Chains A and B, each alone.
Chain A
C-alpha cells in the first residue's frame, strides 16, 4: 500500500489543505502539527503559484500572501524536512505544473522523496499530460494523484483505471471555494469510480460544514477541505493554529460518524 493510501486505512479520512507560507512558514508548521494532533489523516500542502487558475478568491489570496511573504519552493522543501522530524501522517504537495516544471521535474520529485513528501497533486495536469510527470513520481515512490470532475463522465474509466494513491473527486463545477450546497450526484460518481479503481477516493471542493463533511465522506472514503481552513488563516494570521486545530477536530468527528 502506498503511503497516501494509508490515510484511509483506519476508516474515512479527513484531509485538510493549507497554503505553505501564509502568512509565514512558522505559522504553517504550527498549523500542520495542530492538524495532525486533531485527527487529520493526510495534509495537502499548497506550494503557492502566482496565477492559480483552479482556485477561487480565498486560496488566490493565500497564494498572494505567501509569495509576498517571500516563500519559495526551496524554502518549502526545507520546511517539510523540518516538519518530518515529528509529523508522521502522509503529506502531499498541491501546486501547479509550472512550479514543478521550472524546478526540473526530476529534481523536484527527487527533493520530494528526500524530504518525505508522499504524493503530488497538479490540478492543471489532466490525464492527457500525466505521462510527463507520473513516471518520474513512480520511480521515486511518490503518488501522482489524479482528479475526477463532474464533467469527466466517459473519462472516469481511463482516469480511475490508472489511479495511484487516492483519487480526488471534484464535487462541483468551478474553482475552489466554500459552497452552501453540493448539487452533483456524488454517490453516482463514486460508484462509477469504484467500478474501475481499487484506490480510495476523497471528495473536495466546496466543503466547509461538518454536516457536508459527514455526507461527502459517507458517499466516498473521505473528504478534503481547503478554502474553509485558509479563511481561518486569513482571519487569524500568525495566531491561526489553535483555531484550525479546533476546526479540524470538529470536522474529523463528523467524518467519523459517516
Chain B
C-alpha cells in the first residue's frame, strides 16, 4: 500500500499527470518542515501578520447559562481574514514560494479559504485563481468581492451541484493542465497524500496553543475539545496535540443539514461509506453504485460529501467521536452565542457550539471543554436572516 495512509484511509488516487507534482511537493515539504529558517519565517507570519497566538477565552456567561462544564472558546475567528484557514495558507504559500511556484490555485466553499489564499497571494506577490461553486458565490457574495479586491480571479463552477466538491474537482482539473508554475493550495485535510499531512501540520498550531494556554489557566488538560468537521482541517488542528492524551475526548461536529434521515445532509460519518474520491480513500456520502451524493448543509463550508482520511481513521479506532448537528441546531447556536457572549461565530463553527450546548449541561461543573470557533460569522448574517424569514441584502 502506498504512502500517506491513516489506517486503510488516504493514499494517492490521482491521475498520472499529477503524480510527479505531489511527489515534488512531498519532497519539498520534507526538506522544509524541520528547517529552522522556514519555521522562523512561518512563525513571524503567524504572529505578526495573522495575529497568533489566538486567544483561549473563558466563556463565563455561556458556562453559567448552560450550567455545566466550564467552556473555553479557542478564538480562531480573531485571526487575520477571520478564520483558521490562514494558518494552512500561510504555510503552503511559503512552501510554494520556496518551490519556485508563482501561482496559487484553490477551491473554496464558504469563501474563507479562498479569501485566505487570495490574501497570502497578495502578500507574497503571487498570482491567484480561486474556484468556487456558483451556488456558493451567491450564498457568499461578500467573500467573492473580497477575493477580487485582494487581486484574485474567482471562477464560478457550474458543474455538478455547483458547490464545494465541484470546486475541488475543477481546481484539480486546472492543476492537471498547469503544473510547472502552479501550486494547488488545498484548503482542508483531504485530497491525495501529502495534503492531509501538510494541512494538518500547519493547523496543529491550534491544539499546540490550546494545550499551552489551558495548562497556564487551569493547570490541567481539558476533558473534551470540539470543532466542526467538513473536510476537517480546524478539527484535526484542534485534536492533534491531544490524540495521545486519552483523557481528552475529541469531538467532531458534522453538518446534518435537514437531518441524517433525509437526503439533504452532509454528515459523512453518520451516513457515508468507504470509498475513493478526490485523491483519497475515506468515507463519502454516495449511492450503492459509488456515485457521489449531492449533499446539503446551510453551511457552505461543511457542504462536502467526504471527510479527511485521518478523521476516518480516528473514527475507525474510536479515538474521536463524530456527531451530526442539524441546520436548525446550528442556527440556534449561532444566535445563542451572539446573545450570551457577544460573539458571532461562523455558521460552520456554530455546529460545534450547538453540540456543546447539548453536552455541557450534562457535565459536572469541574469539567472543562474547549470549543474551537473556527471563524467569524459576519459572512453568514444575510443567509441566517433569510433562514429566519427576514429579507436583508448584502
Binding site for B on A (CB under 8 A): 49-51, 53-54, 56-57, 60, 67, 72-74, 96-103, 123-129, 131-132, 146-155, 159, 170, 173-175
Contact = CB atoms under 8 A, between A and B. Distances in A.
Contacts of B288: 102
Contacts of B47: none
Contact of A67 (B13, B279, B291): B291
Nearest to B21: A151
A124 B13 contact: yes
B180 to A, nearest CB: 9
B20 A151 contact: yes
Contacts of A101: 274-276, 281, 290
> What 5 pairs across the A-B complex have the smallest Cβ distances?
A102-B290, A174-B177, A149-B17, A128-B2, A98-B290
Contact of A173 (B11, B166, B177): B177
- The DSSP consensus for interface residues of chain B is mixed
Contacts of B278: 51, 53
Contact of A131 (B1, B290, B291): B1
B286 interface: yes
A149 B179 CA distance: 13
Nearest to A100: B290
A97 B278 CA distance: 10
A131 B11 CA distance: 12
A155 B22 CA distance: 13
Interface in B249-291: 273-279, 281, 284, 286, 288-291
A53 B172 CA distance: 7
B19 interface: yes
B14 A124 contact: yes
Interface residues of B, number: 40
A159 B17 CA distance: 13
A174 B13 contact: no
B51 interface: no
B138 interface: no
A129 B12 CA distance: 7
B229 to A, nearest CB: 21
A50 B179 contact: no
A125 B13 contact: yes
Given A54-B15, A96-B276, 10 more contacts: A51-B292, A102-B289, A126-B19, A128-B3, A147-B16, A151-B21, A153-B20, A173-B176, A174-B177, A174-B178
Which of A72, A74, A98 counts the most chain B CB atoms within 10 A? A98
Contact of B16 (A96, A132, A149): A149
Contact of B179 (A56, A151, A154): A151
A29 B238 CA distance: 54
B290 A170 contact: no
A97 B15 CA distance: 11
B43 interface: no
B332 interface: no
